[in-house]
A and B are shown apart, each in its own frame.
Chain A
Amino acid sequence: MSAPDLHQMGVAELAQAIADKKTSSTEATRHLLARAKQHEALGAYLAVNEEVSLAQARAADARIAAGERTPLLGVPIAHKDIFVTRDFPTTAGSKMLAGYRSPFDATVVARLGQQGAVTLGKLNCDEFAMGSGNDNSAFGPARNPWDPARVPGGSSGGSAAVVAARLAPAVTGTDTGGSIRQPAGFCGVTGIKPTYGRCSRYGMVAFASSLDQAGPMARSAADCATLLTAMAGPDIDRDSTSLDHPAEDYGRLLGTAWGEGRDGASAAQPLKGLRIGIPEEWMNWADDAPTTDQRVSGDVTLQVSGALKQLEALGASLRRIRLPRTEMSIPAYYIIAPAEASSNLSRYDGVKFGHRAAKYDDLLDMYKKSRSEAFGAEVQRRIMIGTYVLSHGYYDAYYLKAQQIRRLIAQDFRAAFAECDLIAGPVAPTVAWKIGELADDPVAAYLADIYTLPASLAGLPCMSVPAGLGATSGLPVGLQLVGDYLKEAELLQVAHALQQATDWHTHAPAGY
């Protein structure tokens, strides 16, 4: 098998080729590491270690030689640098943790490793996952393979870039307010954030504990299902917020008819009976002329509408629903997430690990200097916001109110799922912006999170599926799908049906 084909393969294909001994894990790993080096300018990787990766690959090859088979055996993947790893440094994109080495692997990393996946390295991200452009990384920006002058999205920007640029068939990401879905949308790849609690947070550098959730990103829904099946599952001895639900095969509904065919779904119309709700607060859905808010770009409106029509053609019925507190999700999120972050990041004090200022006068000065030197501007901004909203006298007005709104948003979804099986709309109002474009306007970046925040606040499973390239920009647009709690398999089933009928997810940026 010739090397160039290896990086074009998805997870399933590559696993099959390795299992069939048409190639080896070692060969695939070597090839993808070389490719990562070749595309260093993307800024996607923060750490690689050829020796470690090749040792893992040889171990996988040995397992294959011994007759073992798993859907991920020998498949090289890479991890967002938010997951702690024993064999690679973990920085969370922050100077604070430069050179930090964890004595243990994150549960998600360990589970993928047990399934035989090989780790290629650690991926760039916004500092402590705070950002939507991957331009808040202390180690420089990751770039969008579709246009290196543009952001790949964030915070899992390096993850999305690597998948789009064919540097790895699949990666891990984390999503707090859209950090898997938005970069997946900006880079034209598929990503899923499962129900809060599906994936263990043990070993994920915490940003906002009540929102953080891990998920896979890949080039197809089917490959995402394979990774999610390996990553998810209860971990109640290490993460108290881990859901105590038995492990699931998230790919079990792929290629099957919706509702097991009860509503007349067939091979031609596999989604017959599926009711898709379009929130009017996200996009105004009228039969012929779908419109969106003026803030939403024409490219996004057109591509998302096209994808919805495609789902309709597959048998789904589209209906208007309401999510009336959509706009309130922005202030609610930007109170709750910074509040939790301000507390979660208190451990970085220069005492035990992480950056400590070289010179200081006393203890307080050591705290101030260490933290001021090592935290970037966006992290400092959120720590300050979070500290403020939790302060005595402000708690009720901000944090408590935001929690109340959060509950109302979850109620809105509950009401909506009484009328539909799945919710669809845009991932983001625009395509990827230029690096630096929003650097001086953090609020504009916050506002752009409007479509991803509601599902995060409600803890619902949601994903981003490629919806083709914008006619004007030539850049990828993502379709967002949101399911009810624990409906990951249904989400993946619908995304897979769409990908069976279209080729949007197969588009590669020029030169990759």
Chain B
Amino acid sequence: MSAALIEARGVTKILSGIVPVTLVRDVSLTIMPREFVAITGPSGSGKSSLLYLLGLLDLPTSGNVLIDGQSTTLMTEEERAEVRLTRLGFVFQFHFLLPEFTIMENVALPMRALGKLSARAVTVRAEEVLASFALGDHRHKTPDQLSGGQRQCVAVARALANDPPVILADEPTGSLDSISTTQVFGILRDLVMLHGKSVVAVTHDLNLASQMHRRMDIVDGRLVRDEQFIPAADAH
């Protein structure tokens, strides 16, 4: 059996304040390779908060998140940044591309931040990734010259730039029309089916969630349901 890519052990997140708010309560889960996971639940249930905890964008109040079996609790911010850069890819509801940079530059950004590839190799890799999303012709355009669906595709391409094993997506189709939604969802599914990535996506869309391999329901910060429709191993 493959090792878990992400593992949450009794993770709780409480926002301190005059009235403390519990966002996530004692959640334990594992994300295995090649899993296509939907996190669903009502608004304010803690879906995105859980995703941010799994993606090391936030620190749990208690519990532990392990990436590739390694505890992240005692990691410094620099070490967590390194894990985000190499092991995780993020896609948000809005594309969040840097507006002054071209599509090519946006996709190259994580690779340049990692600094392991030469400038030439970065360009080649960025062109490859963009071509795989049929965005090669748009590489010199800026985000405002693309449609909403195309921008989100670029955001997925950027998340894949450093070839991370896991993509964490927060409502990736939440701001898209139905055609773009189908397009982006297809890309995410291909990442799992064709490229062997794991995708964990927060979504409100139960129709999309039902097409994914595993569904977790979060209510009031608790993981109330974790249902595997298709085993990760069979999905490929």
A and B: partners? no
Chain B residues with a Cβ under 8 A of chain A: none
